[in-house]
A = this chain, B = another copy of it.
Amino acid sequence: MIIGQKLRELREEKGLLLRQVAAELEVDTAYISKMERGEKNIRKEFIIQLASLYNHNQDELLALWLADKIYDTVKDEAMAFEAIEIAKKYLSKEI
């Protein structure tokens, strides 16, 4: 989703090829392509490596990555907003 787009932007800014990024992460080129297009989940570890490779703020990327996961779990749910508020409440109380 959004993290994928962002990763593609960053890669293109750096002028890197899928192949080069793939070599860095030690995975197949096709796999990077799929991550960038949101066809595959991205492992947290990869985000960290990519933040470093692209010289980009790691926390920002991790936030986007996590936001995508949240979005994915709520997107088709009628109670999405209510649930988010409840989850936030749990979270601030460190349940």
Contact = CB atoms under 8 A, between A and B. Distances in A.
A84 interface: yes
A7 to B, nearest CB: 15
A17 interface: no
Q: Assembly of this chain: how many copies?
A: 2
Contact of A59 (B66, B73, B78, B95): B78
A83 B70 contact: yes
Contact of A87 (B67, B82, B90, B95): B67
A95 to B, nearest CB: 8
A30 B1 CA distance: 38
Interface of A: 1-2, 59, 62-71, 73-75, 77-84, 86-88, 90-91, 95
